Amino acid sequence: MALVLYNYDLDENCYKVRLALSMLKLEHETIAVNAFPGREQETPPFLALNPMGTLPILKDGEQTLFGAEAVLAHLARTHDPAGTWLPVEGEAFAAVMQWLFFASGDLSAAGRARANALFGPPGDETALRAAARRAIMAMEDVMVANGFRAREWFADERHTIADVALFPAFALSRDFGVDHDEFPALRKWARRFRAIPGFLTMPGIPDYH
Amino acid sequence: MSLAPGWHPVALSGSIDPGTSAGTHLDGREYVVWRDNSGVAHVWEDRCPHRGMKLSFGFVRGDHIACLYHGWQYDTAGRCRYIPAHPDLDVPATITVPVFATVETCGMIWTTTDAAPNRAAPPADPGEAMAVTTLYADIGPLAFLDAVRALPPQPFIPGDPEPQLSQIDGALWRLTAGGDVLLLGMQRLNDVRSALHVVIAGSASTYAGAGQSHVFAWTRALRHRLATVPAKSEATHAEAV
Ligand code: FES
């Protein structure tokens, strides 16, 4: 099989890739990695695939990729014939890029805050939660403004991999103590996201639709 | 201790879609605001009688709200109607969630804990209302209103330049700026945090899109001011009264 995902079920970055594989309906093999408590991704066989020792890792034939956002871009570019998940024309391409970098940059505080809360690695929980909250507030502001021009998604008229990269941090934010009460525009966006064909949940995201 | 008398806004109407729920606070107490599939809004205590799970974490099925934890379902009167672990059980009528009077007016969902006989009428509806946003801040209602006075919006529709802020109900304020009329619903979440629900009293043909963006930009400027300019404490206000 051409596509192989090295996966840990509780990792929200792996979840981004699982979402994309499912929404793009791509056949793939999943290899479970004992990230917690085993930290298997930091052992030599995995370091040979990703020297940073992080997940997810995707193999596509001869190519090996790490970093969820790069994997999303690769899957959309090579496995979405319609080209809607990663539009390359007009303003949408740069908008998708902006949100992918945001997801792996500013918003990554959410992933670290959650890892801190669930698995207890060292880190300043208060500062991480504040940084994550600030990034989520920025997302709320943008979706409120988008609503005034009847735009339902982050980067384009249609959903893209930007929405896939942004969804887990918000959907899992209760894990690190940021609830959804004050983010009505994101609640509505998350509800639309859940309705995309191929949507799947992960532990911490209830399945009630 | 019960809530301050009168009607309190708990959400913008447009923030709660049919079939969804959200948690909120009034005076430090937890409430769930939810809308059934027929579009009727409900405000309840945010606590499942079974094991105390927040009902706002649950989900709406038709005209029932179901608890996320063990799936107990409550009808629109707050009465438990279905317990998945005992599907054939005729659920005792005593298992209920406290429900509160709920109305929608001025583009917001309102509730009160006042008993029916001495309950005041809710604020009158102005007709067309365009929702803008809810602004949250770690500040009391009086300091929030001070900030509004200190940084009034620039008018979208030109008119009388002098902004006017007047209280038209316990928790409802009317702010005129130029040709615009804004309705501000003040929600005291707890001792340290409040929410300001911002609605334009005007028509979609005038305000949809650009007008809403204009007022939204003002709320962002207000938020910035609240974050950077120290507020007078509520205690200072109380002494001044
Ligand atoms: S706590 Fe709500 S059903 Fe058990």
- Between strands B64-66 and B73-74, the pairing is antiparallel
- Identify the DSSP state of B113: -
Q: Are residues A114 and A191 in the same domain?
A: yes
From B21, B50, B57, mutation site for ligand 1 pocket: most ligand atoms within 8 A of C-beta: B50
Report the alpha-carbon distance of residue B107 to residue B129 in Å, rounded.
6
Report the alpha-carbon distance of residue A132 to residue A144 in Å, rounded.
18
**Which residue on chain B is closest to A150 by alpha carbon?**
B209
pLDDT digits (tens, 9 = 90+) for A13-44: 999 999 999 999 999 999 999 999 999 999 99
From the CB of B74, is ligand 1 less than 6 Å away? no
Q: Are residues B137 and B212 in the same domain?
A: yes
From the CB of B69, is ligand 1 less than 6 Å away? yes
Q: Are residues A71 and A46 in the same domain?
A: yes
Q: Are residues A138 and A104 in the same domain?
A: yes
Q: Is A207 within the bounds of a domain?
A: no
We report the CATH number of the domain holding residue A11 as 3.40.30.10
Q: Which residues 189-218 in chain B show a CB within 8 A of chain A?
A: 195, 208-210, 212-213, 216
Range of the domain at A160: 91-195
pLDDT bin (cut points 50, 70, 90) of residue A124 is confident
From the CB of B70, is ligand 1 less than 6 Å away? yes
- Residue A111, classed as helix, strand or coil, is helix
Q: Are residues A128 and A175 in the same domain?
A: yes
Q: In chain B, how many domains are there?
A: 2
The burial of A14, by beta-carbon neighbours within 10 Å (0-12 exposed, 13-18 middle, 19 or more buried), is given as buried
Q: Are residues A49 and A141 in the same domain?
A: no
Q: What is chain A's length? A: 209
Q: What is the mean pLDDT of chain A?
A: 95
Asked if A149 has any chain B CB less than 8 Å from its own CB, the reply is yes
Q: Is B124 within the bounds of a domain?
A: no
Best of B10, B13, B15 to mutate (most A CBs within 10 Å, chain A):
B15
From the CB of B84, is ligand 1 less than 6 Å away? no
What DSSP string describes B85-99?
TSTT----TT-B--E
Last residue of a domain, one of A23, A55, A79: A79
Report the alpha-carbon distance of residue B81 to residue B62 in Å, rounded.
13
Q: Are residues B27 and B93 in the same domain?
A: yes
Per-residue pLDDT of chain B (241 residues; tens, 9 = 90+): 468 899 999 999 999 999 999 999 999 999 999 999 999 999 999 999 999 999 999 999 999 999 999 999 999 999 999 999 999 999 999 999 999 999 999 999 999 999 988 899 999 998 899 999 999 999 999 999 999 999 999 999 998 879 999 999 999 999 999 999 999 999 999 999 999 999 999 999 999 999 999 999 999 999 999 999 877 665 555 544 4
Q: Are residues A29 and A95 in the same domain?
A: no
Q: Residue whose CA is closest, atom 4 of ligand 1?
A: B70
Instruction: Looking at the complex, report in whole angstroms how far the Cα of residue B236 sits from the nearest Cα belonging to chain A.
Output: 28
We report the CATH number of the domain holding residue B178 as 3.30.310
Task: Average the pLDDT over A48-76 and give the result.
Answer: 97
Q: Is B3 within the bounds of a domain?
A: no
Q: Are residues B167 and B236 in the same domain?
A: yes
Q: How many CB atoms lie within 10 A of CB B102?
A: 20
Q: Residue whose CA is closest, atom 1 of ligand 1?
A: B51
Report the alpha-carbon distance of residue A173 to residue B196 in Å, rounded.
23
Q: Are residues B23 and B45 in the same domain?
A: yes
Q: In chain A, how many domains are there?
A: 2
Q: Is A13 within the bounds of a domain?
A: yes
Q: Are residues B20 and B101 in the same domain?
A: yes
Query: What are the E-state strand segments in chain B?
Result: 8-12, 20-26, 29-35, 41-45, 59-61, 64-66, 73-74, 80-82, 99-105, 108-112, 130-137, 164-169, 172-177, 180-188, 194-200
* Stated pTM of the model: 0.94
